[in-house]
């Protein structure tokens, strides 16, 4: 290309081969969250399968810049094994640091954090629903 | 070890130098008899250099059907555009302060016009149709009693469409209004005839037609003369319109590049058109792609395509095998969507997800096939990881 942004090696690796692409089929132990819009430069769908009150696996679909694609892919490995409390504590700055994302792209990471918050809400609703059923 | 170079499909940004042009330039740099200052007419060194400069002037003039004395050497199209616009507007300020141009001109024109606006001139920027074409009637309707100049580009550098400058030139000539054409992208791609097109000033550059960077020319009609005020003062070269020692080797390179471009235009255009159609046929099989600019009123070598469902920066980063542009090389350092595509009505998102492929004399069929394969692979890959509500699905 005529112009070339600098990307960290981790961004390049995840962009070239994104991990855990796709989404889980709807099920009681599957949580889904979506955030962003194409005209905002990023749209992401996260789906998580819960086992024994931990995230057993994550899948993602993402439209966005290389940083967004890499961050979404990286997140699907980072959050495996997380409990609800650990998920609630996750913030976008961790991805910014790990992937060396420049400040002008931090807004895209906020959209990814919004998707994580969506998973958190879905998880809490699932827990309340189970409590009511019990 | 150096990484392999990507396939070069950025001829609209600049072309490689034709080896024949490089040879002629090297001769100028090597031969002692050509080392004189072309303005030093008092000795043989200067006279021999001057002869080469005048030969090149005649070559450039012939390529645009103009007279040699109408050609003024400059450093390139940016300087030519600035000299034409600022020079004419300031010289004729007492005749009127209104100028007509378009929203899709090159920055070298738009920024010069911005400067004139800061000096009290008023500019009407015509909005082209969705195909990029400015209709001659739009120009007619924009003319006022105080209009002194119309400036439009012949071939758009981003989308490759060809404006009907002949029809617009005739309108201007009938109204007694000066007409400037930025023809930086035209040489060797489409015929230029300053007489038939009623052009008063025409900007040219060498490096878009297999000549060297750093040299250009401004055609200035001499009969009747077009008054213009110089931008650079000094030794009074080029009849006082552009002072500075003439770079013999650069000028010789431009002269020969223009001669070759015009002589081989028909063959080049036919071959490159076929390659461009091969590229478009291959890319359009992806689906959800749009050609930017008029389908047929375009030069052979430029294909500007918008890809739905793919984020622009990712698309560009993914295509490391290709040297292509996302717009004008002069403006694409920013991530902002192309102002040309925005003026054609493309959304910010689609404008940002657009690529300009530009082909040229040295492009091969194998390179086009490799480009199709790379674009297909990466667009499909990026669309496959996008959510279902994105335009990809």
Please check the confidence at residue B371 and state whether its pLDDT lies above 90: yes
For range B25-35, the mean pLDDT: 95
Instruction: Report the gap between the CA of A38 and the closest CA in chain B (Å).
Output: 6
DSSP B10: B
Q: Is A62 within 8 Å of B384 when comparing Cβ atoms?
A: no
Indicate the range of B155-159, B195-199, B331-335, B365-369 predicted with least confidence: B331-335
Q: Report chain B residues whose CB lies below 8 A from the CB of A65.
A: 311, 313-314
Query: Please, what sign has the CA dihedral across residues B376, B378, B381, B386?
Result: negative
DSSP B132: S
Q: Is B385 within 8 Å of A69 when comparing Cβ atoms?
A: yes
Is the omega angle on the peptide bond into residue B175 within 30 degrees of 0, that is, cis? no
Percent of chain B with pLDDT over 90: 92
Q: Say which residues have a Cβ less than 8 Å from residue B240's Cβ, sequence separation at least 6.
A: B230
Is the omega angle on the peptide bond into residue A103 within 30 degrees of 0, that is, cis? no
Residue with tokens 């007409």: B179
Most confident residue range from B160-164, B309-313, B343-347: B160-164
A121-132 residue pLDDT tens? 999 998 888 778
What is the predicted pLDDT for the residue at A2? 38
Residue with tokens 């650990």: A86
B1-11 residue pLDDT tens? 577 899 999 99
Instruction: Note whether A39 and B347 are within 8 A (CB).
Output: yes
User: What residue segments make up the domains of chain B, in order of their start?
Assistant: 7-15+265-384, 19-263
For range B112-139, the mean pLDDT: 98
Q: Report chain A residues whose CB lies below 8 A from the CB of B388.
A: 45, 61
What's the token pair of residue B7? 């396939």
Q: Which residues of B are catalytic?
A: 330
Instruction: Report the gap between the CA of A36 and the closest CA in chain B (Å).
Output: 10
Computed over every residue of chain B, the mean pLDDT equals 94
- Give me the interface pTM, i.e. the ipTM: 0.92
CA distance B315 to B301: 21
What is the predicted pLDDT for the residue at A5? 58
Residues of chain A below pLDDT 50: 1-3
Percent of chain B with pLDDT over 70: 96
**Contact with chain B for residue A45, Cβ under 8 A:** yes
Fold match between domain B7-15+265-384 and domain B19-263: no
Q: Helix, strand or coil for residue B64?
A: coil
**Contact with chain A for residue B347, Cβ under 8 A:** yes
CATH of the structural domain B19-263, one choice from 3.40.640.10, 3.40.50.10580, 3.90.180.10, 3.30.930.10:
3.40.640.10
What is the predicted pLDDT for the residue at B210? 98
CATH of the structural domain B7-15+265-384, one choice from 3.40.50.1010, 1.25.40.10, 1.10.3720.10, 3.90.1150.10:
3.90.1150.10
Helix (H) or strand (E) holding A131: helix A106-133
CA distance A86 to A48: 14
What is the predicted pLDDT for the residue at A1? 40
Ordered domains of chain A (ranges, CATH): 9-133 (3.90.1010.10)
Q: Is B323 within 8 Å of A1 when comparing Cβ atoms?
A: yes
């Amino acid at each position: 290309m005529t112009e070339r942004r600098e990307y960290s090696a981790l961004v390049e690796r995840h962009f070239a081969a994104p991990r855990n692409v796709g989404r889980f089929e709807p099920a009681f132990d599957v949580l889904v969250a979506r955030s962003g819009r194409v005209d905002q430069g990023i749209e992401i769908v996260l789906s998580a399968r819960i086992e024994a009150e931990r995230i057993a696996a994550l899948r993602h679909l993402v439209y966005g810049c290389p940083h967004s694609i890499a961050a979404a892919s990286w997140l699907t490995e980072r959050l495996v094994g997380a409990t609800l409390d650990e998920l609630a504590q996750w913030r976008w700055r961790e991805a910014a640091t790990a992937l060396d994302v420049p400040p002008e792209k931090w807004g895209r990471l906020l959209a990814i954090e919004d998707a994580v918050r969506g998973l958190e809400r879905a998880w809490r609703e699932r827990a309340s629903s189970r409590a009511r059923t019990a | 070890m150096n990484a392999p170079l990507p396939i070069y499909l950025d001829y609209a940004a600049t072309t490689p130098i034709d080896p024949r042009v490089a040879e002629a330039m090297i001769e100028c740099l090597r031969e002692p008899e050509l080392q004189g200052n072309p303005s030093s007419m008092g000795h043989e060194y200067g006279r021999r250099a001057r002869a080469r400069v005048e030969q090149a002037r005649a070559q450039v003039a012939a390529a645009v059907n103009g007279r040699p004395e109408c050609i003024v050497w400059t450093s390139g199209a940016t300087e030519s555009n600035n000299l034409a616009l600022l020079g004419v507007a300031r010289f004729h300020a007492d005749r009127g302060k209104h100028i007509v141009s378009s929203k899709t001109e090159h920055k070298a024109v738009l920024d010069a016009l911005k400067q004139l606006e800061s000096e009290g001139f008023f500019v009407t920027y015509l909005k082209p149709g969705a195909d990029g074409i400015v209709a001659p009637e739009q120009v007619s309707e924009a003319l006022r009693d105080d209009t002194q100049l119309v400036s439009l580009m012949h071939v758009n550098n981003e989308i490759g469409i060809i404006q009907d400058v002949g029809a617009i030139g005739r309108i201007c000539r009938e109204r007694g209004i000066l007409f400037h054409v930025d023809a930086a992208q035209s040489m060797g791609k489409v015929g230029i005839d300053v007489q038939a097109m009623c052009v008063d000033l025409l900007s040219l550059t060498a490096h878009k037609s297999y000549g060297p960077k750093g040299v250009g020319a401004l055609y200035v009609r001499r009969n009747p003369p077009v008054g213009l005020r110089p931008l650079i003062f000094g030794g009074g070269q080029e009849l006082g319109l552009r002072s500075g020692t003439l770079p013999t080797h650069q000028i010789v390179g431009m002269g020969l590049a223009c001669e070759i471009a015009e002589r081989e235009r028909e063959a080049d255009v036919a071959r490159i058109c076929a390659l461009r159609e091969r590229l478009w046929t291959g890319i359009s099989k992806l689906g959800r792609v749009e050609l930017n600019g008029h389908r047929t009123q375009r030069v052979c070598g430029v294909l500007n395509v918008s890809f739905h469902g793919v984020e622009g920066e990712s698309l560009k980063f993914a295509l490391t095998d290709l040297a292509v542009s996302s717009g004008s090389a002069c403006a694409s350092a920013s991530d902002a969507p192309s102002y040309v595509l925005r003026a054609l009505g493309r959304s910010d998102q689609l404008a940002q997800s657009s690529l300009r492929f530009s082909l040229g004399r040295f492009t091969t069929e194998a390179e086009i096939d490799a480009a199709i394969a790379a674009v297909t692979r990466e667009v499909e890959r990026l669309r496959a990881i996008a959510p279902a509500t994105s335009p990809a699905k």
